[in-house]
Amino acid sequence: MSIDLNARIPNNVNLAEDRRLQRALESWQPTFVNWWKDMGPEGALNHDIYLRTAVDVAAEGWAHFDYVKMPEYRWGIFVAPPVEGRTIGFGEHKGQAVWNEVPGEYRSSLRRLIVTQGDTEPASVEQQRMLGLTCPSLYDLRNLFQVNCEEGRHLWAMVYLLHAYFGRDGREEAEALLERHSGDPDKPRILGAFNEQTPDWLSYFMFTFFTDRDGKFQLSSLAESAFDPLARTCQFMLTEEGHHMFIGTTGVARVVTRTCQVMKDLKTDDPERIRSAGAVDLPTLQRYLNFHYSVSLDLFGQEISTNAANYFTAGLKGRFEESKIDDDHHLNDDTYSVTMFDDDQIKKIDCNALVAVNERLRDDYVTDCQLGVDRWNKILRKYKIDCRLALPHRGFNRYVGSFSGATITPDGDLITAAEWTKGKDDWLPSEHDRAFVISLQKPVTEPGKMAGWIAPPGRGIDGRPLDFEYVKFH
C-alpha cells in the first residue's frame, strides 16, 4: 500500500476518490495547523529537525528520515493493509466477516471510543509544549519533537475516522478535539492523566514510559476491533507508539545511570549530597515513578465494567493480543480474579470475565511495566547499589475505580487519612522535589553535549552519531 506523498494530505486511503471527504478534511487542516502554532512546541516553528515520516506502511522501511520544519511535517492518514478474509475474533459476532461500515446499533459506542482515543493525542502535545526550552541534549530535543509530530498524526488518524464514517456528528467531534485543552478549567481533556502538567524532563520520561504504555494497550485492544477501518488505523499507530515507549524506558534508564555514577563517585547514597552534585536522587525517582504509574493505572477505568463488557460482546474492543488467548473469546461462563477495595479491605474477587476485561488489560499493563522497572534495577545491580525501584501497590494514589479515595501506602498497607497526609511527601513528588528537578532543567543545545543529570544514550538516531546536529536552529 503506497502512500500518495504529493497530496495536500498524504494518505493511503484513496482520499482523492472521495471529493466530499477530501474537502471536509482539507477544511479541517488549517484549524489543525493553527492549533499546532498556538499549542504545539513553544518557539520551535522554524527549527529544522531530523524527523522520520511515513512513506509506506509495510513492516520494512516504512519511515524516511530528513530535516523538516514542524509546521511543514507531512501529517497524513495511514492505515495498515487489509487482511484478506479477516473475521471477527471475539464477542457475539465471532467468526463473522469484519465490518467496513459502522453498524447503526454500535454507532454511538464506536464514536465514543474514537473520540476518547483521539482526545489523548493533542493533549500530550499540549502537556509537553514547553519542554523543548529545557532540553538536556539535541538528541532528546529531536525525540521530543518526533513524538509530538506523531501524536499529531495520531489525531489525524482519529479525525479521519470521524469524518469518513460518522457524518455531521463526526465533523463536530473533530472540531471539539481542538477546542478542549489540557488542564483547561472550562474545557479540559476527557481523561485525568491528560490534564496533568509535564513541566520537566523527568516527568516526560515517566509519562512516555507509563502513560504512552497505556496507549499501547488501548490501541492494541482497538486493533482487534470488528470495525476494520479502526483496527487497521490502530495497527499502524502501534508502529509509532513503540518509539514513544523506547524514549521513556531509555530516558529513565539514563537518569538512573547518571545517578549511579554520581553515587559511586561520591561514595554516598545521601539524597542531599547527590542533589548537590546535580543528579536526581533515587528516592525522588521512586516518588516520580509512584505518581506517573498510579495516574496511568486510572486510565484503564473501573475494575468491574458493564461498558467494557458491552464493548467486548459487540466486538468493538478486544483484549490485548486477543488471538493468542486460549479461551472461547465469548467469556460468558469464564471467571477472572480481580483485586478490589471493598468493605474497607483489599480483596481478590472472582467475577465474570466479561465485566473484568478492563482489569485484565490493567494486569497485562502492570506486567509490561514491571519489565521496564526490572531493566532499571539491572543498572542499580551493575553499580552494586542495594536500593531497588518498585511499582507501588495498585491501590496507591488512585482516583478511578474501587480504590478511588482509599488511603493505601505504596507497600499496600491500609492507613488512616491522617497517616496519608503525614506520609504523602515520602511517596509522591513534593513541591520541593518538583522545584529541585526543574532547577536541573538547563538547556543543552551543543551537538554531542549532555546535561549533567542524565547519561548519554547508547546510540544515535537512524545510525547517526551522538554529536549529529539533530536540530538546526534558525
Residues in CB range of 319: below 8 A, 6 or more apart? 90, 221, 224, 312, 325, 357, 360, 361, 364
Angle at 163 between CA 323 and CA 101, to 5 degrees: 45
Q: Residue 361's closest CA among 326, 325, 398?
A: 325
The three cell numbers of residue 316 are: 468493538
Residue 302 to residue 300: CA distance in whole angstroms: 7
Question: Tens digit of pLDDT per residue, the chain (474 long)?
Answer: 567 777 899 999 999 999 999 999 999 999 999 999 999 999 999 999 999 987 776 666 667 899 999 999 989 999 999 999 999 999 999 999 999 999 999 999 999 999 999 999 999 999 999 999 999 999 999 999 999 999 999 999 999 999 999 999 999 999 999 999 999 999 999 999 999 989 999 999 999 999 999 999 999 999 999 999 999 999 999 988 888 999 999 999 999 999 999 999 999 999 999 999 999 999 999 999 999 999 999 999 999 999 999 999 999 999 999 999 999 999 999 999 999 999 999 999 999 999 999 999 999 999 999 999 999 999 999 999 999 999 999 999 999 999 998 999 999 999 999 999 999 999 999 999 999 999 999 999 999 999 999 999 999 999 999 999 999 997
- Residue 142: its pLDDT value, please? 98
- Residue 6: its pLDDT value, please? 77
Contact 462, 454 (CB under 8 A): no
DSSP string, 49-87: EEEEEESB-SSSS-EEEEEE-GGG----B--PPPPTT-B
For β-strands 48-54 and 63-68, DSSP reports them as antiparallel
- Residue 56: its pLDDT value, please? 72
Residue 336 to residue 353: CA distance in whole angstroms: 5
**Helix H segments across 62-194?**
107-127, 138-165, 167-176
Helix (H, G, I), strand (E, B) or coil at 470: coil
- Residue 3: its pLDDT value, please? 73
Q: How far is CA 292 from the centre of its chain?
A: 11
Q: Residue 367's closest CA among 284, 297, 277?
A: 297
First to last CA, the chain: 36
Q: Residue 311's closest CA among 86, 100, 114, 79?
A: 114
CB neighbourhood size of 163 (10 A) = 22
- Bin 65: left if φ > 0, else alpha if -120 < ψ < 50, else beta: beta
- Residue 188: its pLDDT value, please? 97
Q: Residue 159's closest CA among 145, 134, 183, 176?
A: 176
User: What residues are paired with 308 via a beta bridge?
Assistant: none
- Residue 61: its pLDDT value, please? 62
- Residue 54: its pLDDT value, please? 78
Q: Residue type at 253? A: A
- For 268-273, which contacts have Cβ atoms below 8 Å and span 24 or more sequence positions? 269/385, 269/387
- Residue 60: its pLDDT value, please? 64
Residues in CB range of 155: below 8 A, 6 or more apart? 32, 118, 121, 122, 177
DSSP string, 352-401: ETTTTHHHHHHHHHHHHHHHHHHHHHHHHHHTT------PPPTTTT--SS
For β-strands 48-54 and 471-472, DSSP reports them as antiparallel
Domain 15-271+306-319+425-472 coded CATH 1.10.620.20: yes
DSSP state of 299: G
- Spans of all domains in the chain: 15-271+306-319+425-472
The number of C-alpha atoms within 13 Å of 110 and in the hemisphere containing its C-beta is: 27
Buried b vs exposed e over 383-421: b needs ≥16 C-beta within 10 Å? eebebebebbbbbbbbebbbbeebbbbbeeeeeeeeeee
Residue 203 to residue 128: CA distance in whole angstroms: 10
- Residue 2: its pLDDT value, please? 62
